[in-house]
Structure 1
């Protein structure tokens, strides 16, 4: 059985990463990225919101990197997604492919620095340290549970991800609770998507039948209305 068809196991929370360090304006940035490119994971700005598409294999890699971001308060997590293959049935005029960066709140990264950081990361002589990272299963919230934002405003703020778009990149700044809830939505899509895609009703792009989650429902409280929804949907493996 291939990894893309396997049930969620402990190995599903293990990912090969490359660790890089960049010094800019007197500050050193530690950056975690996938060790190999994402083939079936893409991110676009589409109208007033953001669309992420994943298959099971790369969706699990992406979800594990979100969990790793929750455990890495001194590291940026960089997911190059702009160059992923096109998603079948998706790509209308005006939709913008984006990279994704998960930023721990404590790092206080100025978005305007990201482009220069990325240039140094992707330079031909940039050093990379290859590792295999593991995340404990307990870090992943129950993917069957409903999304519940705490009533206490102070507690609810822990789930908020600040959004910045700069240099063709969606930068999400937050903390442990926010990144783990994002991972929960992504893993739920990788679990429910394959059986749904096996039916004749499945539509790769279409809200009636495809498998999707809103990483957050910002409309539930005024504090969450300062930016558009990030939506993740399952897409079967597309041509590579």
Structure 2
């Protein structure tokens, strides 16, 4: 899939940091910190673009993939408990060791960036049957996702393997979610859920919610 993006280069820490943003940003993709968990909502176009950018993140070990979606309105009826906090999303390789506390400073220096076209294969993730989920619980396994929040932005951090294997579940929002109601009349919504670390826990050590719930929303008025 081809994505129009803007590439921003910022001087940082004695070197250069590369930030990639979709151009334009997805309009029907929203992310909220609901206090107990992280909630994301996507229609078909939003799901397709999120999946393509997730694939780009898996292939871009030296870049931050930034989705500036904080201003997007969540679909009607999607409000969480209390007062959910709207968030942007950044996908980043753990090998980059980016200090999330520096994100506000980096974001303020991005500028207009340069237009590019990024191409990712339509099938860039392994088949579900090829993933050995049991090995994720082995003490030496390191290909987990991690969550952090800084400057109203959720950082999803992981290796290429972590992004690709979780991308298989994410791909279901594109392949399966649109026909879910037809195949399963009366069933609830279609969603995927990712956790931070090797097991589900309420909070990470930085007190960020430990679960990211991504819900497919077919009816999302303009």
Q: TM-score, normalised by structure 1?
A: 0.79
Q: Which residue of 2 aligns with 1:171?
A: 155
Give the equivalent residue in structure 2 for 1:228. Answer: 210
Residue ranges of structure 1 left out of the alignment (5+ in a row): 1-12, 203-207
| Helix, strand or coil at the partner of 2:9 | strand
Change (3 A) 1:97 1:139: same
The residue that corresponds to 1:119 in the other structure is 108
Structure 2 match to 1:67: 55
Is the 1:185–1:215 contact (alpha carbons within 8 Å) kept by the matching residues of 2? no
Alignment root-mean-square deviation, CA: 2.7
Shift of 1:162: 2.2
Q: How many residues get paired?
A: 216
Q: Which runs of 4+ in 1 moved over 4 A?
A: 143-147, 197-202, 217-222, 224-227
1:181 aligned to which of 160, 165, 185 = 165
Q: Whose helix proportion is higher, 1 or 2?
A: 1
Stretches of structure 2 that go unaligned for 5 or more consecutive residues are none
Q: Distance in 2 between matches of 1:201 and 1:61?
A: 27
Identify the residue that residue 77 of structure 1 maps to in structure 2.
Answer: 65
Note if contact 2:59-2:160 (Cα within 8 Å) is conserved in structure 1.
yes
* Structure 2 equivalent of residue 152 of structure 1: 138
From 196, 210, 226, give the equivalent of 2:180: 196
TM-score normalised according to structure 2 size: 0.85
1:147 to 1:213, Cα distance in 2 relative to 1, 3 A: farther
CA-to-partner distance for each residue in 1:131-179, whole Å, 9 max, x for gaps?
221123452122577782415332x321x12221111111122110111
8 Å CA contact retained: 1:60, 1:186:
no
Aligned-residue offset at 1:184: 2.1
Give the CA deviation at 1:181.
2.7
What does 1:12-91 correspond to in 2, within 5 Å? Answer: 13-91=1-79
Cα contact 2:20–2:66 (8 A) shared by 1: yes
Q: Distance in 2 between matches of 1:26 and 1:218?
A: 31
C-alpha distance in structure 2 between counterparts of 1:184 and 1:44, whole Å? 23
1:141 aligned residue? 126
**Conserved 8 A contact 2:29-2:42:** yes
Cα 1:146–1:198 change in 2 (3 A) is farther
Cα drift, residue 30 of structure 1: 0.3
The 1:184/1:18 distance shift into structure 2, 3 A limit, reads: same
Q: CA deviation at 1:182?
A: 3.1
Cα shift at 1:127: 3.5
8 Å Cα contact 2:148-2:154 kept in structure 1? yes
CA contact (8 A) 1:43 1:81 kept: yes
Q: In the superposition, relative to structure 1, how do residues 57 and 115 fare at CA in structure 2: closer, same or farther (>3 Å)? A: same
- 1:64–1:183 contact (8 Å) kept in structure 2: no
